[in-house]
Amino acid sequence: MMDRERWDRIQDVFHRAADLGEAERERVLEDACAGDSELLDHVRAMIEEDSRGESLLDLDVEQVAGRILDAPAIQEIGGYQIQRLLGEGGMGVVYLAARKDLGNLVALKILREAWPSPARRQRFESEQRTLAQLNHPSIARLYDAGTLADGTPWFVMEYVDGVPLTEYCRAQDCGVDERLKLFRAVCEAVEYAHQHGIIHRDLKPPNILVRADGCVRLLDFGIAKQIERGALEANQTRTGMHLLTPAYASPEQIRGEAVGIASDVYSLGVILYELLAGRLPFDVADKTPAEAASLIAMEDPVKPSAIVARNSGGATTGTVSWTDLDVLCLAAMHKDRGRRYASVKALISDVDHYLKHEPLEAHPDSRVYVAGKFLRRNWAAVSVAALVAALLLFAGSLALTLRRNAPVVTPPRTVAVLPFANTGSDHSMDFLGSTIPGEIARLLGRARSLTVRPFDASRAGMDARKAARQLNAASVVIGHFVKEGDQLQVAIEALDVGTNYSMWRDTFIIPAANTIGLEGAIASRTRNGLGPTLGAKEFAWATVMGGDSVLETSSRPKNQRAYDLFLQAMGMNGPLENPKLARTMLEQSLALDPGYAPAWNALSHMCEGDSWYGDGGKEAAECALNAAKRAAQLDPDNVWAVDGLTVVEAEHNQVAAAYRDAAELVRRRPENSGAHFNLSYALRYAGLLEEAEKECNTGLLLDPQWSGLRSCAVAFLLHGDYPRAVDFLHLDLGTQFEKALSMDVFLREGKEHEALEARPATAPDWAGFPVLFAYLEHRPASEVATLAQAMKPVTDPEMNYFSAAHLAYAEQPEAALQMLRAAITAGYCAYPGIESDPMLQAIRSNAGFAELRALASECREQFMAARDQ
């Protein structure tokens, strides 16, 4: 055992050296240790541990390998009298303790992490508060926490006198339904943690205890992570093999990739498999780490029904529907995160369906999917002739069934707000049909616990459930209004899409001329009724605390005339019936109320449209950029405002600024899929395709069915990962964008016939598609050349890159080189795509291409230098 004087000496040297540069640190260590090799070894080991950035949530008593120092013998901590040892690991010990004043038993964990830096101490305290908020009947409570005088962290948990879930089910000889009900209780606890931003990351039966009364307790959030930080700091989201339990770990955890909600879903699937089959899907007990990783990441598990049949001599009949139970397990355990249940809530829903003898929402993999997976895995073993025949057989149906046969689960807490109907005869108020729901969507969008689809005025008059399904929304907000005399009556209702059940409704009357009063009434009802009903706990919390932190003052109008002008301009902006007049009204509104962020955001979109489709030119482009900057400055948490800024900056040769703004939004709103898409957009323009892909994958994890992620396909396309590009295109299946970009995929794969089959009915008027269509349709060369010569660069440099690719494919090298130069010099780095894109092969030998390649590489290097600064 180390004495206190020696320990103080070690900590003193550590704190003097830890934050220094390597050369300076070595000098200080040599001077301070003065030939004491043991002291030097201790301090260096501590510095190495500190550099890993681990925190309270990274520590786990049972699993982490031994640390350097022994914990001191302690009899009492923070008013808790230690009684006996419950467990011991390399990083700490767990004691049974009693609170001195009350006598109740607790589990007290002491962590051998006695050298926290100020940053680590702050992180410990933050995470302690987060875990303390987990107040659920099936989660062991965190009661207390603190640090000893030397910095050693300790915390006190609820003591659970129970046995592991699987052991309890065996001892009680539980039937399938009983096991599912216990499993459902576990799922509810995990879903509750997810709602509070915590991913467990180590779900397994030893961490799920069942008391004698049948009550479940989920415990040991030892390597849990906060979703907010996990989505932002990739190096902080990786769980090494030495921390996790391989048998229950997801393939992405085994590979050391960033983890999220889907990883907990996978682990729950393994637990369910073990509960049903009586064994784990993969036996890794005698495997090396590499063998275990390969088995879990590559092999498919045997259906649990087959295990049960084998163990019972082939009998799996009776009241148990093993087909559905197989689907429950295997959908949760799918290797592809995108094909698992999108949330624990979705898994709970299917457990309920099974218990009620109802059809499941998830479906087994189709034969087309299985055949395609077999071909990819056994490429070398299949002859060329057989492979070609198989591809011809399955290619057409694969595209149609890939999305159709994935587990059909709607993202949790996803909301669409539809246009409101004017049920009166006063059509001067028609503009409220888009402005009222637009305001509701904007307010709901401030809640981190909701995913709100961007308001789309074009869906006016559409059936609510049909529109919500098209938008992949679980809930939909509808409404109507009528003006009678000088009074305006507004009705708002929230529907559950699956059941068409009315979740919440309200009607209010307000003077028609008092539009600021209307906005206040909408804000109040959104915060106090609609939002909490839909799952936005932030609104109710703000009300309880007596504040309005969710609805910041920068997003609230302050001038009646200014707000009237804003509403009228927005009402005109839907059909773009008079964009110049609408812009004038917005500018007048902002002159009266320059602090209203939504008006700046609207002006930015108005000017961007004029730059793209009107005659606004450079002036409109500058207007779009300046207005977007102002909107984001006033309302930095608003995803849609920063989205507009990121796009405008990227498209106007300010990619480094776009990256900084997008990264800041991810820091503020890490739970939002759109924030990660914005960051991927900037990275894509900078040519950092792998980083862009990671952000796209994170966005898809957070919102697996959001069509707004469709253009993520570009990053994978330019990187040569065509199947993944198709996955993102299928988020927007059947649209002109999806069909047009599918052509690009096929052409890069050398499948010209399939490209022609996939094309939209008319050539898109962007990215040089008219030239490409003319070439593929074998029109006269003179016609193709004339179309090529007429092409001019557009505002968006990425479109110029695609134009260059299409021109090169259409044998128009000079026009292609000019368009490629326009893309690169406008800030679209195009590297490494310029090196590897098959569509540019025809111009790589042309004079001037080497210069463009150098410009593209320099563009990316300049971005990375600016980012590092």
Separation CA 439–CA 455 (nearest Å): 9
**At residue 691, does pLDDT exceed 90?**
yes
**At residue 620, does pLDDT exceed 50?**
yes
Confidence band, pLDDT 50/70/90 cuts, at residue 51: low
**Residue 447, φ and ψ in degrees, nearest 5:** -85, 125
pLDDT tens readout for residues 729-782 = 988 888 899 999 999 999 999 999 999 988 898 888 889 999 999 999 999 999
**At residue 391, does pLDDT exceed 70?**
no
**At residue 317, does pLDDT exceed 90?**
no
| Same domain, residue pair 132 and 43 | no
CATH assignment at residue 228: 1.10.510.10
| 202 counts as catalytic | yes
**At residue 492, does pLDDT exceed 90?**
yes
pLDDT tens readout for residues 791-809 = 999 888 999 999 999 999 9
Please tell me the least confidently modeled range out of 562-576, 628-642, 791-805.
Answer: 562-576
At residue 104, the pLDDT reads 85
At residue 66, the pLDDT reads 35
Query: 3-state class of 323 per DSSP?
Result: helix
Please tell me the least confidently modeled range out of 244-248, 362-366, 487-491, 816-820.
Answer: 362-366
**At residue 549, does pLDDT exceed 90?**
no
At residue 449, the pLDDT reads 76
**At residue 120, does pLDDT exceed 60?**
no
Give every strand in the sheet of 216-218, ordered side by side: 162-164, 208-211, 216-218
Chain mean pLDDT for the chain: 78
| Same domain, residue pair 251 and 203 | yes
With a CB cutoff of 8 Å and minimum separation 6, the contacts of 576 are 609
The pTM of the full predicted model, rounded to 2 decimals, is: 0.51
| Same domain, residue pair 322 and 455 | no
At residue 62, the pLDDT reads 33
At residue 675, the pLDDT reads 87
Q: Which amino acid, one-letter code, is at 741?
A: L
| Same domain, residue pair 358 and 369 | no
Range 500-507 average pLDDT: 84
| Same domain, residue pair 123 and 166 | no
Of 494, 520, 554, the position where a domain reaches its end is 554
pLDDT tens readout for residues 145-203 = 877 777 777 888 888 888 999 999 999 999 999 999 999 999 999 998 888 778 887 89
Report yes or no: 71 and 92 within 8 Å, Cβ to Cβ: yes
Range 227-247 average pLDDT: 45
At residue 293, the pLDDT reads 73
Any domain includes 632? no
Q: How many CB atoms lie within 10 A of CB 422?
A: 19
At residue 646, the pLDDT reads 82
More confident residue, 155 or 663: 663
Q: How far is CA 4 from the centre of its chain?
A: 47
At residue 373, the pLDDT reads 40
Any domain includes 617? no
Any domain includes 575? no
Any domain includes 324? yes
At residue 390, the pLDDT reads 42
Q: Which residue in the block uniquely carries the two structure tokens 């804003």?
A: 566
| Same domain, residue pair 194 and 58 | no
Left (φ > 0), alpha (ψ -120 to 50) or beta: where does 672 sit?
beta
Confidence band, pLDDT 50/70/90 cuts, at residue 242: very low
Any domain includes 604? no
Separation CA 454–CA 467 (nearest Å): 13
More confident residue, 274 or 555: 274
**At residue 641, does pLDDT exceed 80?**
no
At residue 64, the pLDDT reads 31
**At residue 58, does pLDDT exceed 80?**
no
Range 817-825 average pLDDT: 95
At residue 425, the pLDDT reads 86
The structural domain count of the chain equals 5
At residue 115, the pLDDT reads 47
At residue 430, the pLDDT reads 85
Residue 828: give the domain boundaries. Answer: 734-869
Please state, in angstroms and as integers, the Cα–Cα distance from residue 858 to each residue in 124, 686, 687, 861, following that order.
Answer: 42, 11, 11, 5
| Same domain, residue pair 290 and 432 | no
Report yes or no: 429 and 488 within 8 Å, Cβ to Cβ: yes
Of 297, 330, 362, the position where a domain reaches its end is 362
**At residue 837, does pLDDT exceed 60?**
yes
Catalytic residue among 202, 593, 610, 727: 202
Any domain includes 683? no
Highest mean pLDDT among 242-246, 597-601, 650-654: 597-601
Please state, in angstroms and as integers, the Cα–Cα distance from residue 697 to each residue in 197, 250, 402, 663, 719, following that order.
Answer: 18, 16, 17, 16, 14
| Same domain, residue pair 198 and 59 | no
Any domain includes 674? no
Range 299-313 average pLDDT: 80
| Same domain, residue pair 290 and 356 | yes
| Same domain, residue pair 371 and 334 | no
3-state SS string for 618-670: HHHHHHHHHHHHHHHHHCCCCHHHHHHHHHHHHHCCCHHHHHHHHHHHHHHCC
Show the beta-strand stretches assigned E in 162-211.
Answer: 162-164, 198-199, 208-211
Q: What count of residues does the chain have?
A: 869
Please state, in angstroms and as integers, the Cα–Cα distance from residue 34 to each residue in 28, 30, 39, 45, following that order.
Answer: 10, 6, 9, 17
Range 11-39 average pLDDT: 73
Q: Which two tokens stand for residue 576?
A: 């773009």
Confidence band, pLDDT 50/70/90 cuts, at residue 59: very low
**Residue 836, φ and ψ in degrees, nearest 5:** -120, -10
| Same domain, residue pair 327 and 421 | no
| Same domain, residue pair 356 and 448 | no
Of 17, 38, 68, the position where a domain reaches its end is 68
Separation CA 342–CA 189 (nearest Å): 17
Highest mean pLDDT among 78-92, 94-108, 225-239, 626-640: 94-108
Confidence band, pLDDT 50/70/90 cuts, at residue 320: low
At residue 269, the pLDDT reads 95
Which among 837, 798, 806, 849 has a CA at the least distance from the CA of 683?
Answer: 798
Confidence band, pLDDT 50/70/90 cuts, at residue 296: confident
At residue 868, the pLDDT reads 76
At residue 157, the pLDDT reads 84
Q: How many CB atoms lie within 10 A of CB 868?
A: 6
Any domain includes 752? yes
Range 593-614 average pLDDT: 84
At residue 538, the pLDDT reads 65
Query: In the chain, pLDDT over 90 holds for what percent of residues?
Result: 29
